[in-house]
Amino acid sequence: MSEPLRLVIADDHALFRQGLKSLLELEPEVTIVGEVERVRDLAAAIGAAPCDILLLDLQMDRSTLAEIETLASQVRIVVVTASEHAADALDAVRAGASAVVFKRFAVETLLEAIRAVGNGFVWMPPTLQSEMRTRALERAPERLSAREIAIVRLVARGLRNAEVGQRLAIAEATVKTHLNKVFQKLAIRDRVELTRYAIRTGLIGVDDGPAS
């Protein structure tokens, strides 16, 4: 059995925070290593103990998005929010969040998101899919060729270069060459950022999941 994912819960509502902690402590696949009620204490909490995932209330403070941008390089972030506006979700993903979960969802859905993020995927409610596709056009796919778009779609769904090559009947080295060009065109550093880009621009849906 793999080690439990280490979580920090950040929410300024004590009842919600404590209730969520109580529910998650029943799950053997996660362990709570910290709690935060103020945005200014986030960095200290992340640094105080090894942490894999930060569960962060998007409405804690006006500076929450800025904190996501700062902390996304240190920890994977699952935004937990009462807002179901696509624009808020898009802002969180742009800032660096790996998942958005609505507070009205059951803890099982939150665990699904945590598992996905723990495995390196981006997770969002399927209901946001169409709105995300219409709103996130500032980095339009028209920059990419048809071949590059096909590769992005497969890579964003979790396929390795060799698997992408098999799907598209091209050499693995060719996939790598195309992928490097995509990274350069979009100023993207890695596959996680590429997945976020693919979701934001509608190249894949947030409910597509890993390719089988």
- Cα 45 to chain centroid distance, Å, stands at 20
% of the chain exceeding 70 in pLDDT: 89
Residue 71 located in a structural domain: yes
Among 133, 153, 184, the domain boundary falls at 133
Task: Please check whether residues 79 and 152 belong to one and the same domain.
Answer: no
Task: Please check whether residues 67 and 111 belong to one and the same domain.
Answer: yes
Task: Please check whether residues 15 and 93 belong to one and the same domain.
Answer: yes
The pLDDT-based confidence of 24 (bands split at 50, 70, 90) is very high
Residue 32 located in a structural domain: yes
Task: Please check whether residues 71 and 176 belong to one and the same domain.
Answer: no
Dump pLDDT digits (tens) for 26-51: 999 999 999 999 999 999 999 888 99
d(CA 79, CA 124): 10
Residues with Cβ within 8 Å of 144's Cβ and at least 6 positions away in sequence, in order, are: 152, 182, 185
Residue 207 located in a structural domain: no
Task: Please check whether residues 70 and 109 belong to one and the same domain.
Answer: yes
Task: Please check whether residues 158 and 176 belong to one and the same domain.
Answer: yes
**Number of domains forming the structure of the chain:** 2
Higher pLDDT, 43 or 211: 43
Tokens of 151: 């590769």
Residue 208 located in a structural domain: no
Task: Please check whether residues 100 and 141 belong to one and the same domain.
Answer: no
Please give the residue range of the domain that contains residue 152. Answer: 136-200
pLDDT of residue 137: 45
Task: Please check whether residues 13 and 77 belong to one and the same domain.
Answer: yes
Largest CA distance in the chain: 55
Task: Please check whether residues 44 and 120 belong to one and the same domain.
Answer: yes
- CATH number (domain holding residue 9): 3.40.50.2300
Task: Please check whether residues 86 and 181 belong to one and the same domain.
Answer: no
Among 133, 157, 175, the domain boundary falls at 133
Residues in the chain: 212
The pLDDT-based confidence of 193 (bands split at 50, 70, 90) is confident
